[in-house]
Amino acid sequence: MSFKRQLFLFHRWAGIVLCLFFALWFVSGIFMMYVEFPQLSKPERLAGARLLNFSAATLTPADALTKLQWKDFTRAATPSTLKKIAVADPEQPAAPRSIRLAMIAERPAYVIHADNGAQPRVVFADNGEVLRDVSTKAAEEAVTGFVQRSAASLGKFAAPFEGSSIAFDGTVQTDQWTVSAALNDHRPLLKFAINDGDGTVLYVSSTTGEVVRDTHSTERVLNYFAAVTHWLYPTFVRKYPEFWEWMVDILSGIGVVLAITGLWIGWLRWNRRAKPGKPQVPYKGLMRWHYFTGIIFGALTVTWVFSGLLSMNPLNLNPPRRAQADQQLIYTGKSLTVGDFEVPSQGFGALAVEADLVHYAGQPFYRVADRDGSIRMVAGSAAATTLPDAEAMLARAPTLIPDASLVEATVLTAYDNYYYSRHPERGERPLPIIRVRFDDERHTWFHLDPLTGQILDRSTRTHRVYRWLYNGLHSFDIWWLWQRRPLWDICVIVFSLGGLLLSVIGVVIGWRRLRYEPRRRAASSAAVSPC
């Protein structure tokens, strides 16, 4: 069989299944423009959190850490199971990766993450008690307080909550709305239904006792047409992350090949030497429509499927953007040293709801988040006297890459193509920030936060090229276009509908071929059979 014939057969058989996937991806992609997968956004989390009150605290962060050993950090979780983490010496003190101050069960507490990836532990700052288990009653109280504070802060739940009830709906390792790996620190989750007009469901962490996810009936229904379909997120698949990743990689990879072969077949079928008056395209009817929609939208389909494959970061082509440890030390001055922090009994302000332990220039600070999302730096001890500022950070910037030259330093007061947020109101990417660029072989950039004195991220030429190949091609994340909505919406929807038309025609043609091919072969065999 000739290569050309093999190419046609592959395209025909693989096309039916994959064109169906393509059609679903294009439709669900339009839904995803306006329907997000359920999450507890930063403003929602802060609005429902209890105000920090460490007046009853008697333990420093270092004191709290002495209440834990490595044996307390041996449990990890995936969407499908809990697993044990081996530690070298269970009785030795644990090394913290991060410590957060919060109010849990109306008590001041430290939420401690170890540096081995285990689930966090909570130590209460008033008496050193370690939270070993979150009861159903404690979780329900957390939900009640969260709903009431959210009602006061955001106006949510206000009217319906007056006559509502909270119903415990069981403990789940995962369900359709909690498949994200971001919740692994909190599994299993305690699920509560709020009898309100929105059909709200809240999930409480079994490790910290905090509300970590909310969903509403409308977004649950719409997400079956959006993320669940687009990301291939059915629970029975997504709860096994490795299997899900392989499945998406394989389907996307074959899809790229299918789209490219479709374009190649279109090129082969174009009769460039046709005589005058003879058609250059040897198709009629639906096949002719398929041919021309392929010419117009085929290349776009290739880029969308290819960039969808890149979303999985195959072969780790897009390495982590976190700055190296020695680069972070240039601004922090030291790694997390809990012994530097005093008892945080001083006031954090009237709106503070949480705080993280950080260092700047070797000094201890609490990075405080207020209910409105604003961030402040509060001294962690009497030794912390010098707050971060842009001039001091710029003065240290050349030492980030000492073997290269600093070629540009810019203060960004607005987003651009390489530092942006689709939801600025959530405060996930602060402004203003400092961007410094170096002339090293990787063309490295750093984004620095002058408010907290921290390195936000590091990007190389590889990261920026990958950003265009993935975000640029897949989501049309072009800042000029995004700022001019609904122009962005129009572009994405028009191209999506064009891809949908191409895919649907492909499914119809493939189905017809499957139905009529056996008849054609039978008729052909009968015609050549001897009498």
Give the pLDDT confidence of 348-357 residue by residue, as tens digits. 988 999 999 9
Return the residue matching tokens 């006792």: 209
Question: Which of the residue ranges 18-22, 168-172, 498-502 would you say has the lowest mean pLDDT?
Answer: 18-22
- Per DSSP, 495 falls in state H
Residue of 89 and 514 predicted with greater confidence: 89
CA 50, CA 107: separation in Å to the nearest integer?
A: 10
pLDDT tens digits, one per residue of 183-192: 999 999 999 9
* Three-class secondary structure of residue 381 per DSSP: coil
Separation in Å, CA 41 to CA 251, 426, 513: 31, 7, 48
Task: Look up residue 281 and give its two tokens.
Answer: 């395209």
Residue of 139 and 294 predicted with greater confidence: 139
Query: Average pLDDT in the 280-291 region?
Result: 75
* Three-class secondary structure of residue 80 per DSSP: coil
Kindly tell me if the per-residue pLDDT of 160 is higher than 50. Answer: no
Query: Average pLDDT in the 404-408 region?
Result: 97
Confidence label for 167 from pLDDT (cuts 50, 70 and 90): very high
C-beta contacts of 425-431 below 8 A and 24+ residues apart: 425/43, 426/41, 426/42, 426/43, 426/373, 427/42, 427/43, 427/373, 427/374, 427/375, 428/42, 429/456, 430/375, 430/456
Residue 216 · residue 202 · CB < 8 Å: no
For the chain, the average pLDDT equals: 90
Best CA proximity match to 283, nearest among 262, 266, 300:
266
State the DSSP H helix or E strand holding residue 146, giving kind and residue range, or none if neither: helix 136-154
Question: Which of the residue ranges 285-289, 360-364, 426-430 would you say has the lowest mean pLDDT?
Answer: 285-289
Question: Which of the residue ranges 1-10, 134-143, 246-255, 434-443 would you say has the lowest mean pLDDT?
Answer: 1-10
Best CA proximity match to 176, nearest among 227, 124, 126:
227
Please state, for a pLDDT cut of 70, what percent of the chain lies above it: 89
CA 493, CA 479: separation in Å to the nearest integer?
A: 17
Residue 4, pLDDT score: 58
Task: Look up residue 190 and give its two tokens.
Answer: 């305690």
Confidence label for 287 from pLDDT (cuts 50, 70 and 90): confident
Residue 325: partners with Cβ closer than 8 Å, 6 or more residues away: 335
Confidence label for 437 from pLDDT (cuts 50, 70 and 90): very high
Residue 323 · residue 453 · CB < 8 Å: no
Residue 496's CB is within 10 A of a number of other CB atoms, namely 20
Residue 497, pLDDT score: 95
Residue 29 · residue 496 · CB < 8 Å: yes
Residue 508, pLDDT score: 85
Residue 19, pLDDT score: 83
Residues pairing with 369 in the sheet = 354, 375
Residue 521, pLDDT score: 55
Kindly tell me if the per-residue pLDDT of 377 is higher than 50. Answer: yes
Confidence label for 236 from pLDDT (cuts 50, 70 and 90): very high
Question: Which of the residue ranges 112-116, 194-198, 210-214 would you say has the lowest mean pLDDT?
Answer: 194-198
Return the residue matching tokens 């009529």: 516
pLDDT tens digits, one per residue of 298-322: 888 899 999 999 999 999 999 999 9
Residue 520, pLDDT score: 55
Kindly tell me if the per-residue pLDDT of 90 is higher than 50. Answer: yes
CA 79, CA 187: separation in Å to the nearest integer?
A: 8
Task: Look up residue 209 and give its two tokens.
Answer: 């006792």
Confidence label for 9 from pLDDT (cuts 50, 70 and 90): low
Separation in Å, CA 338 to CA 110, 125, 380: 12, 14, 10
Confidence label for 402 from pLDDT (cuts 50, 70 and 90): very high
Query: Average pLDDT in the 176-195 region?
Result: 96
**pTM for the structure as a whole:** 0.90
Confidence label for 530 from pLDDT (cuts 50, 70 and 90): low
Residue of 208 and 509 predicted with greater confidence: 208
Residue 285: partners with Cβ closer than 8 Å, 6 or more residues away: none
Residue 518, pLDDT score: 55
- Per DSSP, 72 falls in state G
CA 105, CA 144: separation in Å to the nearest integer?
A: 11
Return the residue matching tokens 């082969």: 268
Return the residue matching tokens 């776009």: 300
The upper half-sphere exposure of residue 361, i.e. CA atoms within 13 Å in the direction of its Cβ, equals 15
Kindly tell me if the per-residue pLDDT of 62 is higher than 80. Answer: yes
Residue 159, pLDDT score: 47
CA 419, CA 417: separation in Å to the nearest integer?
A: 6
Residue 267, pLDDT score: 78
Kindly tell me if the per-residue pLDDT of 388 is higher than 90. Answer: yes
Task: Look up residue 9 and give its two tokens.
Answer: 């057969």
- The strands making up 189-194's β-sheet, listed across from edge to edge, are 166-172, 189-194, 201-205, 211-215
In the chain, how long is the greatest CA-to-CA distance? 106
